[in-house]
């Protein structure tokens, strides 16, 4: 059983939901990112999604795109991020997963990426650009290594395709609440509830909802149907503001 499997089993027994903040690694630097992750853990975050900066954003809105650019402008490398996470994961109890492009994984080698990520204490990977048609080899290695492969289902994903994504995923399913890019929203579509309800009827995997979540009303709307909620741009924007203040 992976660390993420254990987490959701514990949350289920306690009647609780997961809160997963997203942070961009290396913005403004890896030391600052490490401090943020430790603080999030201390303040009750259940899990943390750490974005690996990438030059070709995948569904990222302007806030996260800008954070990627700032990190890349400082020449942050995967090795730097994993070295930082190797220290942080010794200090926190919450699982950490990377949001990472499949291009990065493929370039390092499928087994090698899992090896170095696990050595850093990382529990899994969210891979937004891994097509389900090509996910088989990586999914097989992840299952063998108890390393969670989290894949995305969107409002426009055909249901037969969604079932294939379910079959190749482990840890939890990432349901994208809105079409389009990441970013804070004033409101979320009503069909989220129905879509997540259908997905839950097809899989025993926990379902976490992300994209657009930034307000207490969103939490109240989605928590009855979700096992966890992912908050990205709202955190990244505040981290950038805090970083600017620390430099002032």
Whether a cis peptide bond, with omega within 30° of 0, leads into 106 is: no
Bridge partners of 19, per DSSP, are 229
59: left (phi over 0), alpha (psi -120 to 50) or beta: left
User: Active-site residue 68, yes or no?
Assistant: no
The secondary structure of residue 180, as a DSSP letter, is S
| Contact by Cβ (8 Å): 128, 136 | no
- Out of 29, 31, 39, 49, pick the active-site residue: 49
Q: Render the burial of 80-105: b for 16+ CB within 10 Å, e for the rest.
A: bbbebbeebbeebebbbbbbbbbebb
**What's the CA angle centered on 116, arms 153 and 71, to 5 degrees?**
70
User: Active-site residue 129, yes or no?
Assistant: no
- Out of 5, 60, 68, 227, pick the active-site residue: 60
Q: Which residues participate in catalysis according to the annotation?
A: 49, 60
């Amino acid at each position: 059983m992976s660390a993420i499997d254990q987490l959701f089993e514990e949350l289920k027994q306690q009647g609780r939901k997961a809160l997963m903040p997203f942070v961009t690694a290396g913005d403004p630097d890896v030391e600052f990112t490490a401090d943020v992750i430790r603080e999030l853990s201390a303040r009750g975050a259940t899990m943390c999604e750490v974005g690996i900066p990438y030059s070709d954003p995948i569904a990222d809105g302007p806030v996260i795109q800008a954070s990627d650019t700032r990190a890349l402008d400082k020449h942050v490398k995967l090795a730097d991020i994993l070295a930082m996470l190797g220290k942080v994961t010794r200090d926190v109890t919450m699982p950490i997963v990377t949001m990472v492009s499949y291009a990065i994984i493929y370039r390092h080698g499928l087994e090698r990426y899992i090896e170095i990520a696990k050595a850093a204490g990382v529990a899994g990977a969210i891979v937004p650009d891994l097509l389900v048609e090509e996910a088989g080899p990586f999914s097989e290695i992840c299952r063998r290594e108890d390393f969670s492969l989290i894949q995305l289902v969107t409002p426009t994903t055909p249901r037969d395709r969604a079932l294939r994504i379910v079959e190749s995923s482990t840890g939890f399913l990432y349901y994208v609440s809105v079409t389009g890019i990441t970013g804070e929203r004033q409101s979320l579509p009503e069909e989220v509830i129905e879509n997540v309800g259908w997905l839950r009827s097809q899989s025993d995997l926990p379902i976490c909802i992300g994209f657009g979540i930034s307000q207490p009303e969103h939490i109240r709307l989605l928590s009855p149907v979700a096992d966890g909620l992912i908050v990205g741009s709202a955190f990244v924007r505040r981290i950038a503001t805090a970083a600017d203040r620390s430099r002032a």
